Amino acid sequence: MPPPAELPITGYLDRFSHRPGEHFAAHVSVRDGGEARARLVRVISGDPNPAGPGLRFEDLSHRFDITFAGRRQEIRLGSHAVVPRAPRRGPGPLTWTALMWLGALPQEEAVVIAEVADGVAARLSIGPAGVTGTVADGVVATPQTPALRAWHRLWLSADAGSGRVTVGMVALDGGAESVATAVMPGLRLPPGGGRLVIAADAAGGRHLTAKIEDPALLEGYRDSFPQPGATLAELAPVAGWDFARDTPTQRILDIGGQHCDGYLVNVPTRAMVGARWSGREMCWRHAPEDYAAIHFHADDLGDCGWQADFHFTVPEDLPSGAYALHLTCAGGEDWLPLYVLPPKGSARAPVAFLASTFTYQAYANHARGNADAAYKARVAAWGAYPHNPDDFPVYGRSTYNKHPDGSGFAFSSRLRPILTMRPGFLTFDDARGSGLRHYPADTHLLAWLEAKGIAFDVITDEDLHEEGVDLLKPYRVVLTGSHPEYHTLQTLDALMDYAHRGPGRLMYLGGNGFYWRIAVTQTLPGMMELRRSEGGIRAWAAEPGEYWHQTDGAYGGLWRRSRRPPQMLGGVGFSGQGKFEGTHYRLRPEAHDPQHAWIFEGIESEVFGDYGLSGGGAAGFELDRADFALGTPANTAVLARSEDPPASFVTVPEELLSHLSTVTGESPDALKRAEIVHFSTPGGGAVFATGSITWCGSLWQEGAFQGDVSRIMENVLSRFSMP
């Protein structure tokens, strides 16, 4: 196979944000080696559309500019388990075994268990031709492959005394064994005490995509396995790893007497339904023995583990904002975006932009399969970011992609190059606009603030998760970006405390926000976990019984399923979705009430927003609406509503009881709407929400930051910023 494509230069930072006086560690790989340069820029606008604000940076090389010796740093995809010290044993016969569940047959040989010591290796594998056993230089294989989506016992037995080697498999739900035996004169076995690897070979290659349970080493030779469903305890192993233990960790524990514990590499998925799942409990915490499987994947990626090439210390006087380290080498360039927060406990402006870094991470390197010739032609014509994840699988995928066996990515790391989080990255070849989402789309808001001379600080989801409401308290107003979709309990609680229980003012300027529940943990820095459980617009569906996070033990899926609908925080919640296109809003009678009319001061038409850089309309792509039954506060005013949704739009599935009836009783078509709302809160705060992902793209009209959407934003932000 040809080597995977890599960028000429790329990298990642130790985290997305730091404060003055703190240090960013930059981990860089230069594919061909040679001298490289890094300089600081401030990111003003990330939209390369020539009809928009353009790619705009402020050169800050006088603040930071270095050259360094570039070197290629390798990415090693594929999750597996490593036991650094395999059990010692006598010279007698030995059996390597495990339970395995395949969703798809590997296209090449992939390893279930491998052991090597003193230069002698043994390997139990699965491939297109069947189950294979390899001991030293001898190979034996079954004539059959296991059935998909069914549990099987696999084993490899070897006896150095007789030279016999047997490999076999049998389905746990019945059926005949498939066994192959050979005699290998002069057979040698690994003597123990060496390295043992599960779901890869001893060198960390030939990765397996499958669920594995109860891997073990057993004394004795077996040419048959009459009790394939026997538990580890019943097998009395020399070493056996019970994956039901220590589920939230990256440790695997040996129940044998030598305590040959191991560790996991690249964060495979735990808390998986196992071979003995009974269905009596849907949560792994209540019946861990039912969830004793780990799902390994050949394309999992945790921390890249690259060495740091340099550090950037944030100057004490550097304003809070959006920045990037611009990397260049002889072969190309890249950007490493970063945010600078104000000093802890302080604010340098009354307004804060909350960067949706959890959402950026959830979508990191989303391979959509849409980087066709037309897309690439637009990228080239606009001078947009030239690289697309479709072409670079080596940097890992997003939680919107699937593994080779059809299972979804439940983890996403920020400790790797993220091509989708770059200034100028185009998500879509947008017929009516720029086609930006997430990080570059949110620069529409930042560029608007810059153009209007509005001072602002930047904070991030990760900072909010770690520091809670204290991070928000210094600000009169907090602005979200276009798509604050992914949140932890801590971030939701902090925003509720700020806007509903305190005097804070929240401007929710996107759509489909506060939607999915995620888990992050200090034991896996840089990682986030997601289980796409029942309900919602989903790129993949978690299997029944696999809805609970492994890292925090909490129920995953929609916040709505945990009785925290988005309407409780922002007044509106996800209701309709379509292609990346938009429409307009029409004012409602409440907009003319003196209590709210100030929001629309200077707006002369009842209809507005039928333009913009995101799908050509302010109400587009994903739409939110008020729902008092789901927690929209009773005093909420619905000020404007979108009309004429494009033909591509559908009602989100959690609102549907059937193809005709909905939870609210309205028709499905009626729920395909965005609503602009405003309400005050008991703590003296207020919330303004726009109900659309494409809203911020309409801050720009006819060559400038102007128009009705821009005027409405100025009106609200001016009032909300007042003491």
User: Comparing C-alpha atoms, which of 531, 504, 537, 502 is closest to residue 519?
Assistant: 531
Residues ≥6 apart with Cβ < 8 Å to 498:
469, 472, 473, 478, 504, 506, 685
Provide the whole-model pTM: 0.98
Tens of pLDDT, residues 1-33: 677 899 999 999 999 999 999 999 999 999 999
Residues ≥6 apart with Cβ < 8 Å to 306:
11, 12, 27, 28, 29, 73
Tens of pLDDT, residues 241-278: 999 999 999 999 999 999 999 999 999 999 999 999 99
pLDDT of residue 212: 98
| Alpha carbon distance 675, 691 (integer Å) | 5
* DSSP code at position 443: H
Chain-centre distance of CA 192, in angstroms? 39
Beta strands in 231-331 (DSSP E): 239-242, 251-254, 262-265, 269-272, 293-296, 310-313, 321-329
Tens of pLDDT, residues 653-696: 999 999 889 999 999 999 999 999 999 999 999 999 999 999 99
pLDDT of residue 1: 61
| Average pLDDT over every residue of 382-407 | 98
Start-end of H helices in 369-488: 373-382, 438-451, 461-467
Residues in the chain: 723
Residue 446 contacts residue 482 (beta carbons within 8 Å): no
| Alpha carbon distance 15, 311 (integer Å) | 12
How many Cβ atoms sit within 10 Å of the Cβ of residue 63? 16
pLDDT at residue 362 greater than cutoff 80: yes
| Alpha carbon distance 386, 393 (integer Å) | 15
Tens of pLDDT, residues 694-711: 999 999 999 999 999 999
Share of the chain above pLDDT 70, in %: 100
| Average pLDDT over every residue of 410-436 | 98
Tell me the three-class secondary structure of 533-592, residue by residue.
CCCCCCCCCCCCCCCECCCCCCECEEHHHHCCCHHHHHCCEEEEEEEEEEECEEECHHHH
**Enclosing H/E stretch for 495:** helix 489-496
Residues ≥6 apart with Cβ < 8 Å to 219:
89, 92, 93, 94, 95, 238
pLDDT of residue 2: 72
* DSSP code at position 102: -
How many Cβ atoms sit within 10 Å of the Cβ of residue 271? 29
| Alpha carbon distance 109, 128 (integer Å) | 7
Residues ≥6 apart with Cβ < 8 Å to 632:
567, 568, 571, 572, 626, 677
SS3 content of the chain, % helix, strand, coil (to 5): 15, 35, 50
* DSSP code at position 701: B
pLDDT at residue 425 greater than cutoff 80: yes
Tens of pLDDT, residues 557-599: 999 999 999 999 999 999 999 999 999 999 999 999 999 999 9
User: Comparing C-alpha atoms, which of 233, 245, 187, 222 is closest to residue 96?
Assistant: 222
Question: 69 has which bridge partners?
Answer: 35
Tens of pLDDT, residues 608-659: 999 999 999 999 999 999 999 999 999 999 999 999 999 999 999 999 999 8
Residues ≥6 apart with Cβ < 8 Å to 175:
none
Residues ≥6 apart with Cβ < 8 Å to 516:
362, 485, 486, 487, 530, 532, 536, 557, 558, 559
- Could you tell me whether strands 151-159 and 164-171 are parallel, antiparallel, or unpaired per DSSP bridges? antiparallel
Question: 138 has which bridge partners?
Answer: 135
> 319 is written with which tokens?
């304003």
Domains of the chain: 80-296 (2.60.120.200), 348-370+400-415+450-720 (3.40.50.880)
